[in-house]
Amino acid sequence: MAARSLRIGLIPGDGIGREVIPAGKKILESLPSSLGLSFSFVDLDAGFDCFKRTGAALPDKTVKTLKEECDGALFGAVSSPTTKVAGYSSPIVAMRKSLGLYANVRPCKTVLSPAFASPTKTPIDLVIVRENTEDLYVKEEKTYPDPSDPTGKAQIAEAIKRISSKASWRIADIAGQIALRRDKMRQASGSGTSHTKQGMVTITHKSNVLSQTDGLFRSTAREALSQPHFNALKIEEQIVDKYYDVIVAPNLYGDLLSDGSAALVGSLGLVPSANVGEGIIIGEPCHGSAPDIEGKGVANPIATIRSVGVMLEFMDLPDAAEVIYKAVDASLAEGKLVTPDLGGTATTQQVTDDIIKRL
Ligand code: GGG
């Protein structure tokens, strides 16, 4: 069988992105040859450091190469400054927009390990499907003098929260497809529990307060998920139960919920994501650039390694993804080599090598 050859862009970005993206590359290079895959790589620039060096946080060349050459990509992390820097804008948001990556898919799963206690009694296994292109992240903000202040010193800052039916429909639709796929996999492996007898999508919103924006998200998502091909799914709204399967959320709530869920499975260093749209798939750990541990060689590579799996899953390579997920789970379940975020002393390199040996 001729090997399927895939070109992967590598965009480490800032901070520990430069330590975990090489781990992701090594995993791809070490996949068993029986999968019939071969990979070539192209290094690409983006991030705040890139902005300081070149004046562009997301160089045109990076976007062009991703669009024209790459089947997939891995993106590390960015440390955007917390105060406004003239000419700078987050490359993550820009990249998702310019490549039409409208969904950020964030699986969050507990693996029981002797190395660290599970923060929850019941193991977690859910996917957050975060809308990637709008909501408050359209970044249309303004600051102006507060007209009620006679001194003219007080200010008011405003940001637009934009929700469209088009974006709400497509994010709900992909969430429904993911729930159907998870359901099928559970049926095939017999791994369902009494809670997971049926695939489920929970629509997250605050339409009781934001009746127009979140109201539009809610009604459109409901409509999208009432298409006949989603009949097998249970559709919930809001947070009503202890059990979640797939959660679909507008951009901001999706971001916050996934950080919360990361705490429930042990560390943000474990949680992967993939940016999905109509073309390229970009795997991306949910964590940021972690300047406090940058350069120490102890960043947890698992979020990135799992992101390689999620990227492959959405590139229609579920067998390759499964090999990676199983190797990561086995390493965690043994628990001999874990990084400091999980209470251990292992290095990025040791954890990566331990996972590679299990592929
Ligand atoms: N890999 C996710 C990541 O880098 N998160 C940090 C983050 O959200 N940064 C936003 C930004 O710096 O633009």
Decide: helix, strand or coil at residue 201.
Answer: strand
Residue whose CA lies nearest to ligand 1 atom number 3: 288
* pLDDT band, very low/low/confident/very high, at 192 (cuts 50, 70, 90): low
Confidence at residue 189, expressed as pLDDT on a 0 to 100 scale: 82
- Compute the distance from residue 287 Cα to the ligand 1 centre, in Å: 7
Atom of ligand 1 nearest to the CA of 75: 1
78 within ligand 1 shell (Cβ under 6 A): yes
Confidence at residue 193, expressed as pLDDT on a 0 to 100 scale: 63
Confidence at residue 121, expressed as pLDDT on a 0 to 100 scale: 87
Predicted-complex ipTM score? 0.91
Are 236 and 203 a contacting pair, CB within 8 Å? yes
Confidence at residue 111, expressed as pLDDT on a 0 to 100 scale: 92
Question: Per this entry, what is the length of the chain?
Answer: 359
Does the structure show a pLDDT above 80 at 239? no
Kindly tell me the sign of the dihedral angle through the C-alpha atoms of 353, 43, 284, 3.
negative
Which residue from 239, 206, 202 is spatially nearest to 221, judged by alpha carbons? Answer: 202
Using CA atoms, how far apart are residues 162 and 135, in angstroms rounded to an integer?
5
Are 16 and 294 a contacting pair, CB within 8 Å? yes
176 within ligand 1 shell (Cβ under 6 A): no
Look at the block and give the residue holding tokens 């993804």: 321
pLDDT digits (tens, 9 = 90+) for 77-117: 998 898 989 999 999 989 998 999 999 999 999 999 999 99
- Compute the distance from residue 74 Cα to the ligand 1 centre, in Å: 14
Using CA atoms, how far apart are residues 30 and 311, in angstroms rounded to an integer?
16
The model carries a pTM of 0.93
Average of per-residue pLDDT values in the chain: 94
Q: CA gyration radius for the chain?
A: 21
- Compute the distance from residue 210 Cα to the ligand 1 centre, in Å: 26
Q: Quick one: tokens of 126?
A: 């859910």
